[in-house]
Amino acid sequence: MLWYVLRRLAYVLPILLGVSIVCFSLLHLAPGDPLTAVMPEFASDQVIEQIKRSYGFDKPVPVQYLLWLFNALSGNLGLSQVANRPVLDEIVPAMVNTFQLAAFGIGLSLLGGIGLGLLAGYTRRLVTDRAITTTAIIGVSVPHYWVGLVLIAILAVTLGLLPAMGKAPPSPGFGLDDIRHMILPGITLALIPTGIIARSVRATVIDVRKQEFVQTLQANGLPPRRTFLHVVKNASPTVLAIIGIQLGHLVGGSILVETVFAWPGTGYLLNNAIAYRDIPVLQGTILVLATFFVMLNFLVDLAQPFLDPRMTRQ
Amino acid sequence: MSAGDHTPVDGNAGTFLSVRNLSVEFQSEGMPLRAINGVDFDLHLGETLCFLGESGSGKTVTMRSLVQLLPPTARIGGKVWLDGIDVLTLDADRLRAIRGTQVSMIFQEPMTALDPVFTVGHQIAEVVVCHEGVSWSTGRARALEMLELVQVPSARRRLDAYPHELSGGLRQRVMIALALSCKPKLLLADEPTTALDATVQIQILLLLRELQRELGMATIFVTHDLGVACEISDRVAVMYAGRFVETGAMAEVIDGPRHPYTIGLLNSTVHAGSERGKLAPIPGAPPDLLDMPPGCAFAPRCSRVVAACAERVPDLVEVAPGRSARCPRTGDPGISLPGPTPPGFPLPRE
């Protein structure tokens, strides 16, 4: 087991390193000189040199990268060029908001995806299965920001049932108003993962139920609820892997949804950072989100052997 | 209907399983497919009956229909009495109650027939817990007992093993332990040695024979392997295209087969001494169940075919006490050819 953890970790580290290199390169890949914003107009060559040196641009690129990485690891992601405050101070509250919304969306998509998937898998080729499969395809295919706009138009603007924008004003504790603000963006965010999870749960359940051991369970007279447990445990490793990826997408892909609903999370932050060319914020946010995505899948990998004992042996 | 109001069909008090006019039809798109037709037999406790035949002859379907373990498209007809219980009329709950406790099944491929993500101890204990309502620790104790019964070495350690951690032979032993965990009186074995190495096959056969005698179970053994059939069974029913074509005591059928198909089966089996004798395969292939010949299903492949064969399906007639064959020419002189020497492993018998 320890060997398995170490081997998984050995896969994760190079990926994280790659992520950091991509984030760092943003600075150099983005069109335009990053120093234009801070450079005084008509600066003399000497001043330019001095500014370059103060920002560390005089050093070779690999050294710049290592310095940047070292700073990032110690929590120093630099200064936001727009807000002129540490990037970390921008990211942390945004992260909290994003996770709050994501947790809500994840809850919805797990509940909906697993529930619908099981129902479809157990009623294969019947009306319920067909209805669920079709809905899932629509859910996956329709752009979610567009659904968000439609939801706002109907439920918020026309019917006035739910707030259209933003987060509830800060108040002590977590109340009904917080939830009301999360419903529309939460549903929008959950749409695609729900469809994908439902489809993979359905396919996996159908696949598992065809296996011979299910007949052994029936031949031994086990009640349906026990057979169901066997099916669920056999289906869980596959489904968990897909859920892991979907959750990562859900957090990372919230940029459009958060923009549509003006939700002050990382997606919103990213959107603004792109608009204002605030590269340190962009770098920091992407680094944090990508690390989250990688770590999430690492955790999924770690959980797999507990569900399927065959995984540790290779 | 209540379970007690049935008297065994043949009036024989020792009969444990009684099957009458059993038929199975699969409702496929378009025409229904008749897989089993008019199967009758009786089985006593302590007796082993073997269904022998090629793939697709209906051996497995016949066996599975006894406990209704068939896909939902199957329609089962006829009567099955198990210890006085009319099995085919049972509702789902009652059927579940006899599965595992009265009738159990062993499958061909133990790797896929065991759940890969639960330990073997858990799988055995689960059956005991579900049927007997005992605690999990009692179930686990029974699991250990069962693994010892089927001679799994270091049984206590193997309780916590997963199926993939065991060899094929051990897996099949576990499968047997699982099937016997609630002391069934009828064991259905579906080619339980086919997927195993030859040396392991013999061990499993010996174990099954020993357990069957020790526990006094009635056993139905499905195989296409004549050698295996010889070793394990008292009686044999040779199946072809969903019908019994010949039944009788194993040794008698081997010594003097009456049906041309049985003769063909014996002649096409590789066994001790066949380097001297000639190996004679049966020409042609089994018929398409959707497009059956009007008369005897074997007629198109039969070397002894006469006009009567094509007229109607021959009856299964008694040709000697306890022996029947479904062939219009069984009475003809010369049809009861001396069969080849009994094939099989040189196992100690009794």
Residue of A nearest to B162 (CA): A309
A106 and A187 Cβ atoms separated by less than 8 Å: no
Are B116 and A230 in contact (CB < 8 Å)?
no
pLDDT(A40) > 80 = no
What's the pLDDT score for residue B162? 93
What's the pLDDT score for residue B2? 40
Residue B332's pLDDT band (cuts 50, 70, 90): low
Half-sphere exposure of B334 (CA within 13 A, CB side): 2
Are B67 and A313 in contact (CB < 8 Å)?
no
pLDDT(A56) > 80 = no
B161 CB within 8 Å of a chain A CB: no
Q: Which domains does chain B have, with CATH numbers?
A: 17-233 (3.40.50.300), 260-325 (no CATH)
Q: In this predicted model, what pLDDT tens digit does every residue of A167-207 receive, in sequence order?
A: 777 766 677 788 888 888 888 888 889 999 999 999 999 99
CB atoms within 10 A of CB B27: 13
CA terminus-to-terminus distance, chain A: 12
Using CB atoms, which residue from A223, A230, A313 is nearest to B115? A230
Residue of B nearest to A211 (CA): B112
pLDDT(B191) > 60 = yes
Q: How high does pLDDT run on average in chain A?
A: 85
CA terminus-to-terminus distance, chain B: 43
In this structure, which amino acid lies at residue A17?
L
Which tops the pLDDT comparison, B7 or B15? B15
Are A307 and B116 in contact (CB < 8 Å)?
no
What's the pLDDT score for residue A222? 93
CB contacts of B100 in chain A (<8 Å) are 219-222
Name the CATH code of domain A91-312 (choices 3.30.420.40, 1.10.10.10, 3.20.20.70, 1.10.3720.10): 1.10.3720.10
Are A234 and B117 in contact (CB < 8 Å)?
yes
CB contacts of B116 in chain A (<8 Å) are 213, 234, 308-310
Are A221 and B131 in contact (CB < 8 Å)?
yes
In this structure, which amino acid lies at residue A264?
P
Are A216 and B114 in contact (CB < 8 Å)?
yes
Residue B271's pLDDT band (cuts 50, 70, 90): low
Look up residue B340 and give its two tokens.
């080849």
Using CB atoms, which residue from B67, B112, B131 is nearest to A213? B112
A71 and A78 Cβ atoms separated by less than 8 Å: yes
pLDDT(B81) > 50 = yes
Strand (E) or helix (H) holding A123 = none
Are A213 and B113 in contact (CB < 8 Å)?
yes
pLDDT(B186) > 80 = yes
pLDDT(B6) > 50 = no
Q: In this predicted model, what pLDDT tens digit does every residue of A236-292 receive, in sequence order?
A: 988 888 888 888 778 766 778 888 888 888 888 888 888 888 888 888 888 888 888
B182 and B105 Cβ atoms separated by less than 8 Å: no
What's the pLDDT score for residue B17? 94
Are B115 and A221 in contact (CB < 8 Å)?
no
Residue B337: is it exposed, middle or buried by C-beta count within 10 angstroms (0-12/13-18/19+)?
A: middle
What's the pLDDT score for residue B178? 94
B178 CB within 8 Å of a chain A CB: yes
Query: Whose CA is closest to A154, among A123, A128, A183?
Result: A183
Query: Whose CA is closest to A199, among A254, A252, A238?
Result: A238
Q: Which of A21-25, B15-19, B135-139 has the lowest mean pLDDT?
A: A21-25
CB atoms within 10 A of CB B25: 17
B136 CB within 8 Å of a chain A CB: no
B325, β-bridge pairs:
B246, B317
Q: DSSP letter string over A53-109?
A: HHHTTTS-HHHHHHHHHHHHHTT---B-TTT-SBHHHHHHHHHHHHHHHHHHHHHHH
Are B69 and A219 in contact (CB < 8 Å)?
yes
Q: Which of B70, B117, B166 to mutate to test the interface with A (most CBs of A within 10 A)?
A: B117
Helix axes A212-219, A224-252, angle to 10 degrees: 150
H-helix segments, A210-275 = 212-219, 224-252, 255-260, 266-275
Are B98 and A233 in contact (CB < 8 Å)?
no
Strand (E) or helix (H) holding B40 = strand B33-44
Nearest CA of chain B to the CA of A189: how many Å?
Answer: 33
B126 CB within 8 Å of a chain A CB: yes
Residue B7: is it exposed, middle or buried by C-beta count within 10 angstroms (0-12/13-18/19+)?
A: exposed
Are B126 and A219 in contact (CB < 8 Å)?
no
Using CB atoms, which residue from B97, B112, B164 is nearest to A212? B112
Are A213 and B131 in contact (CB < 8 Å)?
no
What is the DSSP code (8-state) at residue B263?
A: H
What's the pLDDT score for residue A313? 54
B190 and B105 Cβ atoms separated by less than 8 Å: yes
Nearest CA of chain A to the CA of B293: how many Å?
Answer: 33
Domain ranges of chain A: 9-74, 91-312
Using CB atoms, which residue from B67, B109, B126 is nearest to A222? B126
pLDDT(B348) > 70 = no
Angle B312-B317-B319 (CA atoms, 0-180°, nearest 5)? Answer: 135
Q: In this predicted model, what pLDDT tens digit does every residue of A75-87 receive, in sequence order?
A: 888 888 777 888 8
